A = this chain, B = another copy of it.
Amino acid sequence: MAAAPVWSVDPRTGKQREQVAVEATAQEVDAVVRAAHAARGALADRRLRAAFLRTAAARLDEAGKRLVEAADAETALGTPRLTGELARTCYQLRAFADIVDEGAFLDVVIDHPDDTATPPVPDLRRHKVPLGVVAVYSASNFPFAFSVPGGDTASALAAGCPVVVKAHPDHPALSEQVAGVLRAAAVEHGIPVGVLGLVHGFDAGVELIRHPRIAAAGFTGSVRGGRALFDAAAAREVPIPFHGELGSLNPVLVTEAAAVERGEAIGAGLAGSMTLGTGQFCVKPGLVLVPAGAAGDALVKSLADAVGGTGPGVLLDHRMRDNFVAGAAERARLPEVDAPVAPGADGEHTVSAGFLTVPAGRLVRGGEHDLLLEECFGPVTVIARYRDDTEAGAVLARLPGNLTATVHLSAEEAAGRGRGAQLLAELTPLAGRVLVNGWPTGVAVAPAQHHGGPYPATTSTSTSVGGTAVERWLRPVVYQQTPEALLPPELRDDNPLDLPRRFNGRLEPGSKQ
């Protein structure tokens, strides 16, 4: 059987640009994974891998113009957005280098012997070690930040794990270019190029998750694809952690008082957030609870004005475009659903943004309107008009897990007078990030960030953005009664590496900060 070709496609025309590669066979996947496994030892030195991450960032920066052009040709996301995304990606690589240097993620805990405990405690010294080779499944919608050089890769390398990336078919040429840059950065530090493997093809992705030398996986994509890989990871003879980000509706609740106070501004803000990147963000607000009545009407009118003024956009590929057009139409056909600005097909290759409205009561009892509680990828959102707080709460109670949940409050409510705190408590079970008076699009890279949430938002309780993302690729090991001469330096009493740690119960922050 001839190897299947992998084409780079221009989403602005639907035309093939060039053949980039061929899909990897099972044997090829095996070779790539083995090469990554063989590169493990080279990442053991933390100082070296921090330097590697910084060099990777520098080389990506240097190649920026070329990479952004390559990304735009395959994704149509535009130069400004892609330039910003690459800057974010480099910032993230450097942030993980700092995390490696600090070493708090090693979770060092040292307990001296204690004969007064029940039972007595022997000398115990714990830290975390890398899991092994990590499989990373790239996203379509962030060709840098959630793809070859993105958060999964950066955090896995920071943890000391080699990576094999399954390229997304929407940007195979860029994936090859970026992998080349990362490999060249590895070579600068004497790290084998195998530390960053790249494979193309659906079947290769399935082979990858089943490979015995793959120790964990990160994924960003659809519920269907992610769940299939999650199931395969769980069905292995030796199951492995699968950290998948699958789908999210990102509900927004606007209180009556907030709508009265600044309904027009909220409508305009919502238009900006839901159309950002042509609605192709995982954190796009997909369901907005707006009060019935005049204040809510003003919000909806402002939204309609702003969305109606949005020009046509190109989606990442034509399959997505077809799904968007069909999904929007199917939703718009439901009883009592209106489309003040109709989302759907525009030209042959473009789509236009829009939104739907529905009485919130239609979302409370199940049935065909439950389709409106499923994510529709692209520039569309659903405005559910609620009659009272009870009805709004009943809709929230029916939602699956989300990456984000947002509430818009009036100034009085935000100041603690009113239901603000209670609404925050109601939104917390729904999501991993809860916002007040903001929009969920835009995921900052910061120590406190959490980009994850109850299933199907993610398949685990961890995050793919922010400092704690590194925790996914580690496991603890404790050494018992181990002579000082044999201990890794991380676990010695005199703390030669100046690591933050818990020492005989006390937290010691270290002096590196």
| A contact set with B: CB distance below 8 Å | 84, 87-88, 90-91, 104, 107, 109-111, 114, 117-122, 124-126, 129, 131, 230-231, 234-235, 238-239, 241, 400-401, 414-416, 420-421, 424, 428, 431-438, 442, 444-450, 452, 454-456, 459-463, 467-468, 474-483, 485-486, 500, 502, 505-510, 513
Q: How far is the CA of A412 from the CA of B235 in the complex (A)?
A: 46
Q: Tell me the bound Cα distance from A428 to B486 in angstroms.
A: 13
Contact call A416/B485, Cβ cutoff below 8 A? yes
Please determine whether B505 and A447 come into contact, CB atoms closer than 8 angstroms. yes
CB-based nearest B residue for A132: B429
Whether A486 pairs with B421 at a CB distance below 8 angstroms is yes
Chain B residues closer than 8 Å to A450, beta-carbon distance: 126, 476-478
List residues of chain B with CB within 8 A of the CB of A119.
Answer: 84, 88, 442, 444-445
* Cα separation A41 to B85 with both chains bound (whole Å): 42
State how many angstroms separate the Cβ of A371 from the closest Cβ of chain B.
17
With both chains docked as a complex, state the minimum distance between the C-beta of A93 and any C-beta of chain B, in angstroms: 11
Report whether B424 and A479 are in contact in the complex, using a CB–CB cutoff of 8 Å: yes
Give A104 to B400 CA distance when docked, in angstroms: 30
Question: In the assembled complex, which residues on chain B have CB atoms less than 8 Å from the CB atom of A129?
Answer: 428
Chain B residues in 8 Å Cβ range of A454:
238, 475
Most central of A401, A416, A434, A468 by chain B CB within 10 Å? A434
Q: Are A486 and B420 in contact (CB under 8 A)?
A: yes
Contact of A432 among B125, B456, B477 (CB under 8 A): B477
Q: B117–A438 contact, CB under 8 A?
A: no
Specify how many copies of this chain sit in the oligomer.
Answer: 2
B455–A474 touching, CB < 8 Å? no
Asked whether, in the complex, the Cβ of B428 is within 8 Å of the Cβ of A477, the reply is yes
Q: Are B452 and A486 in contact (CB under 8 A)?
A: no
CA distance A136 to B338 in the complex (A): 48
Determine the chain B residues whose CB is within 8 A of the CB of A231 once the complex forms: 234-235
- The contact sample of 12 A-B pairs, CB cut-off 8 A, is A111-B446, A118-B445, A124-B446, A230-B239, A239-B459, A424-B479, A432-B475, A433-B477, A434-B482, A437-B481, A505-B513, A508-B509
Q: Is the CB of B461 within 8 A of A474?
A: yes
Contacts of A462 in B (CB 8 A): 476
Task: Give the distance in Å from the alpha carbon of A421 to the alpha carbon of B476 in the complex.
Answer: 18
Cβ B447 vs Cβ A111 within 8 A: yes
In the complex, which residues of chain B have a beta carbon less than 8 angstroms from the beta carbon of A475? 432, 452, 454, 461
Q: A414-B485, A477-B433, A482-B434 are in contact. Are A447 and B513 (CB under 8 A)?
A: no
Q: Which of B238, B438, B483 contacts A414 (CB 8 A)?
A: B483
Q: Give, as a whole number of angstroms, the nearest-CB distance from A67 to chain B.
A: 16
CB neighbours (8 Å) of A109 from chain B are 447-448, 467-468
Kindly state the separation between the CA atoms of A461 and B129 in the bound complex, as whole angstroms: 11
A91 and B117 contact, Cβ closer than 8 Å, known pairs A436-B482, A448-B126, A513-B505? yes
Closest to A435 in B: B480
